[in-house]
Structure 1
């Protein structure tokens, strides 16, 4: 069954994962789509992106919703009609959604060595010191996910990963961290949790009180 796993983040949030093993036609026949989503799907050039998009719709159906319950605001942030907070991500073999009572950001990324080549563009590379190359790639992927998750949660134009989002030091074994967003003359604090799923890093961000 391609529904892969449910992950409890805390008392307010759950992540749902779909492992994309079906071909496009199987997913397409199984997902109920509104017209605007069909148009969006047809405009995607990559079948991988199409399948990720459909995987998200399958997760909505798994959770008792459908594509008809989902809408996007003017900034591209997803919302559910009943007010439940949602964040969406997909990467190659996995689609993921998180449902929460609070505003939340989610990212899933496949771990690849090439993340180390671009690491200086988005993070403090001193956080990768004294790690093997494999663990450097894993940690850099988590840090990219932290920045994506905070960006999705805040959802404001002009936020820069290297200039505005700062992760605190953490160990991969911790499965949690903290981050700060320095933006528009304010500092906001975020609680981060992450989990390794096969060769992927799943990251969630919640604003700290």
Structure 2
């Protein structure tokens, strides 16, 4: 399956989605992997994780990058090495930030001139059941069951996205990341990370992609 969807979050931040309909063998044959990536792939026991990993590389290739341009630091945070200006990516900078997420049948990457983090989550009842563990459930009052599920999934995505940006040990979703209440129709909100005696603010945008919620967090 080719590129499924593109979302332009702002002038220099774009998300790309791959709908995974291929099997592992087809994806593997379509990409070129460096040795460290082959080692990571071989260590994945789940076929779903293997396909998500390979679909990310398909997205990179679609945009003119390769697996060799993608590196990870010691904390596991991805970095994109830009050697030349890439005409397929709307950018005004030679420094590019990348964030990655995959869930079930979709993989997503977001590329930006700004620091940002993303999360892609399928809508599932379990998220609503565990909502009291990670969010202020008062924000779900007066909503229909469907709206509650969507909002809880957005909030989970907000916290995942911010965590990906900071990537620091000790950050707790319920204790340190706070979402301001929002209306689902507005498709944006704000959040704060209160950690290590600092308060950091984030702009949030969220979107429906098929039966999934996609969230992007950008530091204010």
User: What TM-score, normalized by structure 1, do the two folds share?
Assistant: 0.98
Equivalent residues, number: 208
Name the SS of the counterpart of 2:25 in structure 1: helix
Report the Cα offset of residue 133 of structure 1.
Answer: 1.1
Name the SS of the counterpart of 1:57 in structure 2: helix
1:108 is aligned, of 93, 115, 120, to: 120
**1:62 aligned residue:** 62
Name the SS of the counterpart of 2:45 in structure 1: coil
Name the SS of the counterpart of 2:163 in structure 1: helix
Structure 2 counterparts to residues 88-127 of structure 1, below 5 A: 88-127=100-139
Report the Cα offset of residue 112 of structure 1.
Answer: 0.4
Report the Cα offset of residue 114 of structure 1.
Answer: 1.2
Distance 1:113 1:182 in 2: 29
Structure 2 counterparts to residues 142-181 of structure 1, below 5 A: 142-181=154-193
Q: Name segments (4+ residues, structure 1) moved above 3 Å.
A: none
Q: Deviations over 1:108-164 (max 9, x none)?
A: 000001111111111101111111111111110000000000000111111100000
Is 1:182–2:185 an aligned residue pair? Answer: no
Name the SS of the counterpart of 1:14 in structure 2: strand
Name the SS of the counterpart of 1:86 in structure 2: strand
Report the Cα offset of residue 81 of structure 1.
Answer: 1.4
Distance 2:178 2:2 in 1: 35
**1:50 aligned residue:** 50
Name the SS of the counterpart of 1:45 in structure 2: coil
Distance 2:21 2:114 in 1: 31
Instruction: Report if the CA contact (8 A) 1:113-1:134 is conserved.
Output: no
Q: Deviations over 1:1-46 (max 9, x none)?
A: 4310111000120000000011111111001110110110011010
Is 1:204–2:201 an aligned residue pair? Answer: no
Unaligned runs of 5+ in 2: 83-94
Name the SS of the counterpart of 1:120 in structure 2: helix
Q: Deviations over 1:159-194 (max 9, x none)?
A: 100000001111111110000000110100000000
What's the Cα RMSD here?
0.7
1:191 is aligned, of 189, 203, 210, to: 203
